[in-house]
């Protein structure tokens, strides 16, 4: 720094965890414009604003590797469930579900309705959606995926069939347009209605366009229950044929008969990584959440209703109680509540811990921001990993926990100069208290903000501080 120059912001006296997994170090962090200008002993440096970080950790802002925030970025530009946890970048467009490209005026079937109503789907080209983010920037950055279900609904006569050759061509064109507009890759949700009929050949043919552009193949696999390993093999095959790195979304082994099976699935990932690029994300809970599906209800130990269009009053209640009140059998109640969403208790805590502890697992919330009574992962995922799993259980070190939500995710998604605290990187930072950081959102009270988050900065601007959103909107649509 030249003599007389002053920094914009200086975090003094804190401990830096840099996102690479390296041990923490005592260091000051200086920010100029949207970048980190210096890291180290900066005693005597001048800054327009000094933030006392004594007794606190300064780390890269968290990257939520798996979100459905496509529409949240536009309708809640504070991105409140995420920035309040220290998240500075979200990866949207997961599970085959993206807000674009989709010509306006089409019916929006589940699970696309998780993102909003028909009026929210108003971007015929992917570039139109990216432009909307550019014109009205949110508080957090966004990396974007193009979803297969959106492509199918936009191009196909009947999504209950495998795509015909001309429909595959039309999807490839739209995906190419999305990749051109900066998308990070292509996502599928092969368990879901509009995506289910896609054959391996169809997915590989479309995914090829993402691979050719250097993008990823990100998948909510066809099966996360008894057929999980076959589904993994399909994902790997698609990645090989498409020439794309694979990310397995929200990895889990669902259903009591599959408890413990993550020993095998992680071993399969480990073997496969020797010959092709494979990553994965995980959320720190034994319950999942999505639209209310008869098949999922059948397999779950317990179901909580998260929303219901005809019966909003039942959001937050156990499906069994709702069925009893309605004097209906369980599946009849499911039908009566449609369209609706649910939380499904279906995993083994030991599997969840094993997957979190696996060194290549990224942390992704999979939060559903438009649900009336959402799964607590929406507001609690990152502090839960840092507080409950790292500090309380000692499942992983704080440094490693931070790496899985910063440096690892930035490398996986190709986010240049993000996910690390180092000179020259973007100033996406979070200052938190390692002793008190904790998730406060529960299944009963799912929207309680996390504890222990002091300051959240995106591209050099503070977006969240002392429990309040500042109103700054420095986020960017990140291009591949
Ligand atoms: Zn999913």
Q: What is the 3-state secondary structure (H, E, C) of 80-131?
A: HHHHCCCEEEEEECCCCCCCCCCCCCCCCCCCHHHCCCHHHCCCCCHHHHHH
What DSSP designation does 239 have? H
CA atoms within 13 A of residue 427's CA, in its CB half-sphere: 25
Q: Which whole number is the average pLDDT over 60-68?
A: 98
| 119 alpha carbon – ligand 1 mean position (Å) | 23
| 158 alpha carbon – ligand 1 mean position (Å) | 22
Contact 99, 115 (CB under 8 A): yes
| 249 alpha carbon – ligand 1 mean position (Å) | 6
Structure-derived torsion over alpha carbons of residues 463, 466, 469, 470, reported in degrees to the nearest 10:
-60
| 2 alpha carbon – ligand 1 mean position (Å) | 50
| 167 alpha carbon – ligand 1 mean position (Å) | 24
**Which residue carries 């309380």 as its tokens?**
392
Provide the mean pLDDT of the chain.
97
User: Domains in the chain, please, with CATH?
Assistant: 61-296+343-409 (3.20.20.140), 297-342 (3.30.1490.130)
Enumerate residues 6+ apart whose C-beta is below 8 A from 479.
181, 182
Contact 250, 366 (CB under 8 A): yes
Give the E-state strand segments of 204-267 in sequence order: 216-220, 246-248
| 235 alpha carbon – ligand 1 mean position (Å) | 14
| 366 alpha carbon – ligand 1 mean position (Å) | 7
| 125 alpha carbon – ligand 1 mean position (Å) | 23
| 267 alpha carbon – ligand 1 mean position (Å) | 22
| 189 alpha carbon – ligand 1 mean position (Å) | 6
C-alpha to C-alpha distance for 17 and 386, rounded to whole angstroms: 12
Kindly report, residue by residue over 362-392, the tens digit of the pLDDT.
999 999 999 999 999 999 999 999 999 999 9
Kindly report, residue by residue over 220-268, the tens digit of the pLDDT.
999 999 999 999 999 999 999 999 999 999 999 999 999 999 999 999 9
**pLDDT band (50, 70, 90) for residue 328:** very high
Q: Which whole number is the average pLDDT over 153-175?
A: 97
3-state secondary structure of 216: strand
Contact 457, 472 (CB under 8 A): no
Q: pLDDT value at position 4?
A: 55
| 369 alpha carbon – ligand 1 mean position (Å) | 14
- pLDDT reading at 84 higher than 70: yes
| 258 alpha carbon – ligand 1 mean position (Å) | 19
C-alpha to C-alpha distance for 164 and 162, rounded to whole angstroms: 7
| 186 alpha carbon – ligand 1 mean position (Å) | 13
Enumerate residues 6+ apart whose C-beta is below 8 A from 390.
396, 397, 398, 400, 401
């Amino acid at each position: 720094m030249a003599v007389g120059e002053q920094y914009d912001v200086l975090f003094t006296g804190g401990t830096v965890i840099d996102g690479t997994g390296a041990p923490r170090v005592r260091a000051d962090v200086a920010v100029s414009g949207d970048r980190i200008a210096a890291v180290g002993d900066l005693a005597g440096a001048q800054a327009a604003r000094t933030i006392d970080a004594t007794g606190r950790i300064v780390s890269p802002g968290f990257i939520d590797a798996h979100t459905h925030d496509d529409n949240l970025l536009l309708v809640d530009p504070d991105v409140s469930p995420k920035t309040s946890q220290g998240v500075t970048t979200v990866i949207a467009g997961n599970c085959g579900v993206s807000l674009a490209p989709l010509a306006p005026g089409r019916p929006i079937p589940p699970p696309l309705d998780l993102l909003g109503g028909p009026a929210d789907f108003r971007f015929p080209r992917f570039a139109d959606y990216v432009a909307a983010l550019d014109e009205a920037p949110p508080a957090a950055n966004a990396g974007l995926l193009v979803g297969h279900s959106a492509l199918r609904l936009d191009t196909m006569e009947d999504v209950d069939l495998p795509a015909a050759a001309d429909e595959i061509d039309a999807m490839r064109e739209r995906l190419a347009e999305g990749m051109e507009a900066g998308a990070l890759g292509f996502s599928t949700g092969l368990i879901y209605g509009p995506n289910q009929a896609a054959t391996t050949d169809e997915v590989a043919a479309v995914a090829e366009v993402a691979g050719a552009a250097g993008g990823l193949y990100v998948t909510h696999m066809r099966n996360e229950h008894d057929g999980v390993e076959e589904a993994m093999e399909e994902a790997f095959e698609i990645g090989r044929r498409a020439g794309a790195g694979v990310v397995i979304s929200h990895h889990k082994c669902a259903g009591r008969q599959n408890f413990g099976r993550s020993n095998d699935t992680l071993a399969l990932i480990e073997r496969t990584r020797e010959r092709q690029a494979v990553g994965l994300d995980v959320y720190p809970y034994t319950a999942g959440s999505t639209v209310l599906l008869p098949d999922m209800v059948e397999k779950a130990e317990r179901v909580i209703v998260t929303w219901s269009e005809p019966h909003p009053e039942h959001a937050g209640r156990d499906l069994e109680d709702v069925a009893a009140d309605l004097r209906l059998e369980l599946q009849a109640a499911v039908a009566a509540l449609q369209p609706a969403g649910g939380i499904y208790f279906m995993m083994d805590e030991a599997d969840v811990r094993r997957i979190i502890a696996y060194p290549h697992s990224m942390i992704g919330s999979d939060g559903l921001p438009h649900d009336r009574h959402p799964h607590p992962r929406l507001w609690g995922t990152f502090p839960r990993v840092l507080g409950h799993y790292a500090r309380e259980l000692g499942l992983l070190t704080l440094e490693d926990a931070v790496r899985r939500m910063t440096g690892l995710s930035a490398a996986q998604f190709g986010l240049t100069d993000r996910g690390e605290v180092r000179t020259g990187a973007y100033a996406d930072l979070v200052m938190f208290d390692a002793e008190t950081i904790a998730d406060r959102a529960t299944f009963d009270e799912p929207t309680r903000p996390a504890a222990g988050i002091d300051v959240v900065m995106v591209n050099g601007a503070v977006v969240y501080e002392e429990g309040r959103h500042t109103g700054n909107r420095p986020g960017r649509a990140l291009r591949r």
